[in-house]
Amino acid sequence: MKELIEIVGEENFTDTLEELVPYSYDASVNVQRPNSVVWPESTEQVSQIVAFANEQKIPVVPRGAGTSLSGGVIAINGGIIIDLSRMNRILEISIEDRYALVQAGVVCDDLNGKLAKYGFTFPPDPASSSVATIGGNVGSNAGGIKGAKYGTTRDYVMGLQVVLPTGEVMNTGSRTMKCVSGYDLTKLFVGSEGTLGVITEVTLKINPIPRHAMTAVAAYGRLEDAGKAISQTMSSGITPSVMEILDKITLKSIKENTDIDLPDAEIMILTETDGYTREEVEAQMEVVLRILKENNPSLIKTAQDEKERVELWNARKSAYATLARISTSFVLDDVTVPISRIRELLVGIQEIAQRHGLVVATYGHAGDGNLHPQILYDAYDAEQVEKMERVEGDLFRLAISLKGTLTGEHGIGLSKADYMTLEHDPVEMDLMQRIKRTLDPNNIMNPGKMSL
Amino acid sequence: MTERLQFYEEWREAIIQCSRCGFCRAVCPIFDVSKRALANARGKMILLKEAMEGELPVTDGVAQALMRCTTCMNCTVSCPSGVEPDKVIKAARREMVTIGYDNLFKAMGEVVEKYGNIYGEEQRHEWRHKQGKAPYVLFMGCVGAYREEESVAETIRLLDLLGVDFTTIDEVCCSGVLEDVGYKVKEALAQHNVREIRKTGAETLIATCPYCYRVFIEHPSYKDLGLEVKHITQFLAEVPLQVKTEKRVTYHDPCDLGRHSGIYEEPREIIRKIAPTFVEPERTRENAMCCGSGGGFRGTFPRDSLKIARNRLDRIIEETGAEILLTECPSCLHNFRNAKLRRQKIGIYNITEFIAQLYQEGASVGKQAAEG
């Protein structure tokens, strides 16, 4: 691989086995060894790497923090992993024009730390924001807790610099709030999971940080009541910035394994309103609380100060960690359904879990219908692995039957590739294939993902 | 050589508990400067998983990779899955040594045995402080006694100024660091220290080095010390101080004092007494970034160790705008002083050293005032 060394230098290339091992994994169950890893420091270098790979027909997999939950950064056919972590410069922050221009390897929290000094933020907040890169966010169209009110990464990408599979560098989009000039190629690349090119720079729209927030928690003995409370809130004219739920299994796990005090309930809702004045936030919360109360809650609590607010958030924040600690392995999914179908999804998940004899704990973002069923199993037990796969299959079929989607924010990657045709008809699948072939005739860019 | 690591049974659960979320990327000092996946805890847990399962041949490359950790514990405190990588890595290093992979600490162990210090120095600085019976006994540690002698001298001067009746001893290396890198505490050295300390009849041992402090508290070889062990910040927090500075002061939590020993408040209590403009770095207390010197890392990878210290120092300066950086660990002090660039105007001191200097300035100002 002396060509690659010539491009990036000896210290930014490796093909030693020990270094390749960690690059064979992400946060999903998928594993495959790449042949080499490079750490480019400029778009020019990325362009040369991709051009070389295209000429030699070697697969190329762009990678940020490797936090993918769907196998999106696994080099399933081997090849070169392009780790963009060293392209981590914030190139420009323009408060006046409300955008930030960053290299793909910038970490979300680092950007938000800089923006906070101006009172601004890039709102999508995936749980991995302390490590996740902007490039990875764009590639998987990352969301987060505040999706219902603030949308996902897609809503903030104004422009991109992309190294195409031929090695050509394309700049697309604009620095303007409005733009209908030509096809929206920018959005084509958002959520494309590295299958169409390597994103090297991103222009992001930024928002002012709301100055006030209010938090409340409600518990329900019946799923149906909670489902109504969620639907009615989301259609009340008020959009809460947070509308999270924790199901019975999740609540029980947290209760049994931490010292967090929780009610015995079928489901718990955590909600927040935010805004720029106290009055605005209180008026919104008043409406939310009224709806929560009208639907037979077994408990309602509001936070009076920051300390209480942190306490109310405690259970939600510890869900992932608690579940990760109590089981050997887990798969964390992100099926999403229309808000009115959340109750059916929750009931269906528990039916599936019981049918196959595995524990599935569900929590997530009820405000946008995006839930996280966490399937607990033991990856070293062949029987349990098989069960886990069957649970996932049934889960995806359930979500689609409820007019939902396979993935709200983690992406298809390898884990859901086999289920693409559940959601996309042959006409759509065919057009996706044609787009992929047109841009990447040699199929070098992250092959095998999204079943493309 | 292809071998499966034998510690499989004992550590299997701890290793496969890693859910590969990658959150340790945010806190690993080595990853911070290298951006290579093998640097952080996730990389090493994956490496060990494959080595245990026979997927990866155990080679010198694996042994080397395991040495690339400062055991700062920042990943341990931030791991959602409850993995304790510092413990796993230390156990894996022991395993590698057991099956025959040498690292430079075998040689260092011999040096420590022969010379009684990690540097192989034949002469120790003459502190000219009393030795013998006293209620307090002071233990300096190798890095202080052989590399930061002036700082130790100031610490001694402060204790004298405060009227503390203490003795020093003919100390040798506590040899605890060997436990971090696959070897064992040198019993003969430990017993020498225990004997010398007991001879003083002291009721309290004051350790200036947080690492030595931990070894005295935690290691079975020191269980017969028969006296109370305090880190010097714990001792000083209870002493009234008569000096103040107007300078902007910040504090770096040493890993061995903070995350490993849980001592966060005492240093801050002391600093608040003397510096009303005390300001915390952004990453502080449980999340304080490591200076890069621990766990045998400075000895094995001196260049990277310095890079980490420079990285931490740059950020502290940027975040706090402090004129004075305080810590209370000879290793952190030594690494930061080595890392500091000439253009960086920040003063770097151990807390005790800085306070001694404030007393000195106060005395000379007082003298001038009296003369004027």
Judge whether B91 is closer than 8 Å to chain A, CB to CB: no
CATH of the domain at A20: 3.30.43.10
Residue whose C-alpha is closest to residue A416's, from A127, A138, A128, A191: A191
Assess if residue A418 is contained within a domain: no
Torsion of CA A16, A21, A24, A30, to 10 degrees: 160
Nearest chain B residue to A82 by CA distance is: B36
Q: Considering its fold, how many domains does chain A have in total?
A: 3
Which residues, 6+ apart, have CB-to-CB distance to A286 below 8 Å? Answer: none
Using a CB–CB cutoff of 8 Å, tell me whether B50 touches chain A.
Answer: yes
Residue at A387 is within a domain: no
Quick one: A113 and A163 in the same domain?
yes
Quote the strand ranges of B68-195, DSSP E: 136-139, 166-168
Interface touch B37/A39, C-beta < 8 Å: no
User: For residues B277 and B249, is the Cβ–Cβ distance under 8 A?
Assistant: yes
For residue A286, the one-letter residue type is: E
Q: Please, what is the Cα angle at B207 between B202 and B210, to 5 degrees?
A: 155
C-alpha B242/C-alpha B42 separation (Å) is 48
Q: What confidence tier does A131 reach under pLDDT thresholds 50, 70, 90?
A: very high
pLDDT at B1: 42
For residue B122, how many other CB atoms are within 10 A of its CB?
A: 9
Q: Do A85 and B80 touch (CB under 8 A)?
A: no
Residue A120 touches chain B, beta carbons under 8 Å? no
Residue A417 falls inside a structural domain: no
- Does A275 lie in the same domain as A239? yes
Nearest CB partner across the interface for B23, out of A21, A131, A329: A131
The strands making up A267-275's β-sheet, listed across from edge to edge, are A297-302, A212-220, A267-275, A242-247, A359-365, A370-377, A329-332
Pair (A97, A204) in one structural domain: yes
How far does B252 lie from chain A, in Å, by closest CA? 21
Asked if residue A360 is part of any domain, the answer here is no
Chain A hits for B65, CB-CB cut-off 8 Å, are 18
Nearest chain B alpha carbon to A325: B81
**How large a percentage of chain A has pLDDT more than 70?**
100
Q: Which of A321, A170, A422 is nearest to B81 (CA)?
A: A321
Chosen domain end from B98, B117, B151 = B98
- DSSP state, A336? B
Position B1 in a domain: no
User: In terms of domains, do B263 and B356 share one?
Assistant: yes
Domain final position from A325, A356, A373:
A325
Residue B144 lies in a domain: yes
Q: Is A114 on the interface with B (CB under 8 A)?
A: no
Minimal Cβ distance to B38: which of A22, A128, A130 = A22
Indicate the burial class of A45 (C-beta count within 10 angstroms; 0-12, 13-18, 19 or more): buried
Chain B residue numbers with beta carbons less than 8 Å from the beta carbon of A325 are 17, 80-82
Q: CB–CB of B37 and A83 under 8 A?
A: yes
Same domain, B28 and B52: yes
Q: Nearest C-alpha of chain A: how many angstroms from B40?
A: 10
> What is chain A's percent helix, strand, coil content, to nearest 5?
40, 25, 35
CB–CB of A243/A148 below 8 Å? yes
B60 and B140, same domain (yes or no): no
Is residue B113 in a domain?
A: no
**What does the pLDDT read at residue B173?**
97
Residue B287 lies in a domain: yes
Question: What pTM was estimated for this model as a whole?
Answer: 0.95
* A392: in domain: no
Q: Taking CB atoms and an 8 Å cutoff, what residues of chain A touch B304?
A: none
Q: Which of A22, A109, A324 sits opposite B80 (nearest CB)?
A: A324
Residue A110: partners with Cβ closer than 8 Å, 6 or more residues away = A88, A90
**Best interface-test mutation with A: which of B16, B18, B36 has the largest number of A CBs within 10 A?**
B36
B40 → chain A, closest CA residue = A22
Give the residue among A26, A79, A104, A12 at the shortest CA–CA distance from B35. Answer: A12
- Are residues A17 and B56, on separate chains, in Cβ contact within 8 Å? yes
Look at residue B227 and tell me if it is in a domain: yes
> Does residue A165 contact residue A440 with C-beta atoms inside 8 Å?
yes
Task: Tell me: do B178 and B289 sit in the same domain.
Answer: no
Domain boundary among B187, B214, B236: B236
Q: How far apart are CA A270 and CA A290, in angstroms?
A: 15
Which DSSP helix (H) or strand (E) runs through A246?
strand A242-247
Same domain, B280 and B211: no
- Tens digits of per-residue pLDDT, A149-171? 999 999 999 999 999 999 999 99
Using DSSP's 3-state secondary structure scheme, residue A344 falls into: helix
Task: Decide if B115 contacts B108 (C-beta within 8 A).
Answer: no
Same domain, B263 and B225: no
* Mean pLDDT per 10-residue interval, chain B, length 372 residues: 61 92 97 97 97 91 95 96 95 92 89 94 88 95 95 96 96 95 96 97 97 97 96 97 96 98 98 97 97 94 97 97 98 97 96 97 68 52
Domain ranges, residue A201: 86-208
Tell me, yes or no, if A107 comes closer than 8 A to chain B by beta carbon: yes
Q: Which residues of A291-300 are buried (b: 16+ CB within 10 A; e: fewer)?
A: bbeebebeee
Are B254 and B364 part of one and the same domain? yes
Asked if B161 and B232 sit in the same domain, the reply is: yes
A35 with A127, same domain: the answer is: no
Task: Confirm or reject contact between A26 and chain B (CB < 8 A).
Answer: yes
Where does a domain end: A182, A208, A234?
A: A208
In a domain, A351, yes or no: no
Interface size between A and B, measured as CB pairs under 8 A: 85
| A86 touches B at CB < 8 Å | yes
A328 chain-B contacts, CB cut-off 8 A: 16-17
Q: Which of B21, B36, B42 sits opposite A19 (nearest CB)?
A: B36
Report the CATH number at residue B283: 3.40.50
Same domain (yes/no): A242, A199: no
Asked whether A126 and A408 are in contact (CB, 8 A), the reply is no
In this complex, is the C-beta atom of A364 within 8 Å of any C-beta atom belonging to chain B? no
If asked whether residues B178 and B205 sit together in one domain, one would say yes
Query: Do residue B158 and residue B73 come from a single domain?
Result: no
Q: Does B311 touch chain A (CB under 8 A)?
A: no
Which residues, in sequence order, are CB contacts of A323 under 8 Å at separation 6+?
A250, A253, A330, A361, A374, A376
Looking at the domain assignment, is residue B106 inside a domain?
A: no
Q: Would you list the DSSP string of A224-238? A: HHHHHHHHHHHTTT-
Q: Is A31 at the interface with chain B, CB within 8 A? A: no
The single-letter DSSP state of residue A196 is S
Residue B103: inside a domain: no
- Domain span at residue B60 reads 8-98
ipTM, two decimals, is: 0.95
CB contact under 8 A, A19 and B38: yes
In this structure, are B259 and B178 located in the same domain? no
Which one of B81, B98, B115 terminates a domain? B98
Whether B344 and B255 map to the same domain: the answer is: yes
A21, B17: Cβ pair inside 8 Å? no
Q: Where are the beta strands (DSSP E) in A54-210?
A: 60-63, 80-83, 90-94, 99-103, 120-121, 157-163, 169-173, 198-205, 207-208
* Residue A400 belongs to a domain: no
Whether residue B117 is contained in a domain is answered as no
Cα distances (Å, whole numbers) of residue B176 to B95, B112, B123, B312, B340: 18, 11, 21, 25, 28
Flag whether pLDDT at A284 surpasses 70: yes
CA angle A371, A375, A377 (to 5 degrees): 170
pLDDT at residue number B2 = 44
The answer to whether the Cβ–Cβ distance between A24 and B46 falls below 8 Å is yes
Rounded to whole angstroms, the Cα distance separating A256 from A279 reads 39
Cβ B244 vs Cβ B358: under 8 Å: yes
User: How far does the CA of residue A253 sit from the closest CA of chain B (Å)?
Assistant: 14
The model's pLDDT over A291-338, given as tens digits with 9 standing for 90+, comes to 999 999 999 999 988 999 999 999 999 999 999 999 999 999 999 999
Do both A65 and A96 map to the same domain?
Answer: no
* B279 contacts chain A (CB < 8 A): no
Contact of A25 with chain B, judged by CB distance below 8 Å, is answered with yes
Which of A208, A241, A275 is at the close of a domain?
A208
* Continuous segment of H or E residues that includes residue A330: strand A329-332
- Helix B41-52 and helix B85-98: axis angle, to 10°? 40
Query: Do residues A203 and A99 both lie within one domain?
Result: yes
Is position A60 within any domain? yes
Looking at the 3D structure of chain B, how many domains does it have?
3
Cβ <8 Å between B56 and A67: no
How far apart are the C-alpha atoms of A326 and A215, rounded to whole Å? Answer: 29
Closest CB to A130 among B17, B19, B26: B26
